[in-house]
Structure 1
Amino acid sequence: MKQILSNDIINQYLPTLIKCPLFNKLGEPELRSYLHNAKVIVHSYKKNDFIALSGDPMEGIGVILEGSALLTRENVMGQRVIMANLEQSDIFGEALLFSKQPLWPATIKATKVSKIMFIPLETFIDTLPDCQQCQTKILSNLLEDLSEKAILLTRKVHYLTLKGMREKIFAYLTDIYKRQQSTTIHLPHNREQMAEVLNVSRTALSRELGRLRDEGIIDITGRTVTLKDIEGIEEFGFNSF
């Protein structure tokens, strides 16, 4: 059910919403004005609940107020591929907002107890009282976010075009290295999730990571990886082709 958020809810989640890319460069007074006028939908989910199933109609752009989720798809062989990790303040579903058939193309599953705010289409196209300027900024932020995610999707396609396991791992590590700007990086995925991102088997992935460690190319402990041969690893990065 669409609702205007109460002051208590706005105060509770304002720090989270300020960090949301959809509300980038909005001052607190502008954001409060928008939230006091925009009718949104808020749902709560338990861990492992489905937030959306592929083929379901979408209610609007999702904003994660609490918790985290995985956006996944299954290929024709029934293998699950992770498309995105979604954390607090992240948004999803923006590519569908103006679609003629706004159906979820992927499945979204809560990995923690979560609360999601859905912002329906009319909130973006209807003029809200005293919010015209902030609505313009929000639409600009939406376009910027779409551009960034299009680049991210291209990177994922890049992983799939690489034939060798080692090349896929190097491309994956290079992307994280460039984001974190450190040769000691923290992986955003566990081993099973990393295998799904690269569309490889977990056993083969673990075996190749062990080889890379034994050859002195990386050190790996849990999700912490030290890149010891960064020049060789970067050779297969997305921007190297």
Structure 2
Amino acid sequence: MQQLLSEEIIKKYFKTIVKCPLFQNLGESELLGYLHNARVIVKEYRKNDFIALSGDPMEGIGVILEGSALLTRENVMGQRVIMANLEASAMFGEALLFSKQALWPATIKAMKASKIMFIPLETFIQTLPDCQQCQTKILSNLLEDLSEKAMILTKKVHYLTLKGMREKIFAYLTDIYTVQHSEELKLPHNREQMAEVLNVSRTALSRELGRLRDEGIIDIQGRSVSLLDLSVITEFGFNNN
């Protein structure tokens, strides 16, 4: 049920909401004005609850106020592929907002107890009191985010076009290096999730990571990876092909 946010929720989650890409470059007064006038849906989920199932109707853009979630999709072979890890302040579903058939194309599962704010289409197309300028900024942010997500999707396709396990790993590490700007990486995925992102088996992935470590190309401890031979690794990066 759509509702105005309570003062309690706004106060509790304001620092989280302001970090959401949808609200970047909004002044505090602008964002507060929007939050006080926008009718949204707020839902709570327990760990392992499904936030959305593939094929379900979409209620609006989701913003994670608390907790985390995993967005996945099964391919025709029944293999689960991780599309995105979603943490507090992240949003999802923006690509569907103006679709004529707004059905979730993927499954979203809560990885811990979570609270989600869904922002329906009406909030974007109806003029809110004293918020015309901030709505324009929000729509601009939405378009920018869609462009970034399109690039991420293109990179995932890039992984699939690489035939060798080593090339896939190098492309994956290069993308993270490009974001973190450090040869000491903190991986966003555990080993099982990384295998799903690259669409490879976990066993084969672990074996190849072990070889790369033995060859002195990387050092890996859990989710921490040191890039010891950057020139070799970045050869298969997205922008180098």
TM-score under structure 1 length normalisation: 0.99
CA distance in 2, matches of 1:155, 1:16: 28
| Structure 2 match to 1:140 | 140
Q: Report the Cα offset of residue 23 of structure 1.
A: 0.3
Structure 1 partner of 2:176: 176
Q: Which one-letter code corresponds to 1:216 in the other structure?
A: G
Q: Distance in 1 between matches of 2:228 and 2:33?
A: 50
The runs of at least 4 aligned residues of structure 1 exceeding 3 Å deviation read none
The reply on whether 1:237 has 2:222 as its aligned counterpart is: no
Residue in 2 that maps onto 1:33: 33
- Letter aligned with residue 195 of structure 2: A
Match of 1:225 in 2: 225
Q: Paired residue for 1:70?
A: 70
Q: Offset at 1:195? A: 0.2
What are the superposed Cα offsets for residues 135-187 of structure 1, whole Å, 9 maximum, x if unpaired?
00000000000000000000000000000000000000000011111101000
Cross-structure match for 1:81: 81
Which residues of 2 match residues 59-208 of structure 1 at below 5 A? 59-208=59-208
**Residue identity in the other structure for 1:122:** E
Measured against aligned partners, the alpha-carbon deviations of 1:17-49 in whole angstroms (never above 9, x if no partner) come to 110000000011111100110000000001110
Q: Aligned partners of 1:227 and 1:219: how far apart in 2?
A: 7
- Give the C-alpha shift of residue 15 in structure 1: 0.2
Query: What amino acid sits opposite 1:96 in the alignment?
Result: L
Q: Deviations over 1:57-105 (max 9, x none)?
A: 0000000000111100000110000001101000000000000000000
Letter in 1 for 2:168: K
Tell me the distance in 1 between the aligned counterparts of 2:117 and 2:219. Answer: 40
- TM-score, scaled to structure 2: 0.99
In structure 2, give the amino acid aligned to 1:148: E
Compute the RMSD of aligned alpha carbons. 0.4
- How much has 1:8 moved relative to structure 2? 1.1
* Helix, strand or coil at the partner of 2:25: coil
| Count of residues in Structure 1 that have an aligned counterpart in Structure 2 | 241
SS in 1 for 2:63: strand
SS in 2 for 1:219: strand
- Output the CA distance in 2 between the equivalents of 1:23 and 1:177: 26
Give, in whole Å, the separation in 1 of the partners of 2:95 and 2:207.
37
Identity, % of aligned positions = 81
Instruction: Measure, in 1, the Cα distance between the counterparts of 2:238 and 2:78.
Output: 27
- 2:19 alignment counterpart: 19
- Matches of 2:194 and 2:184 in 1, distance apart? 17
Cα distance in 2 between the residues matched to 1:181 and 1:141? 24
Q: Which amino acid aligns with 1:30?
A: E
Alpha-carbon distance between aligned partners in 1 of 2:154 and 2:197, rounded to the nearest angstrom = 13
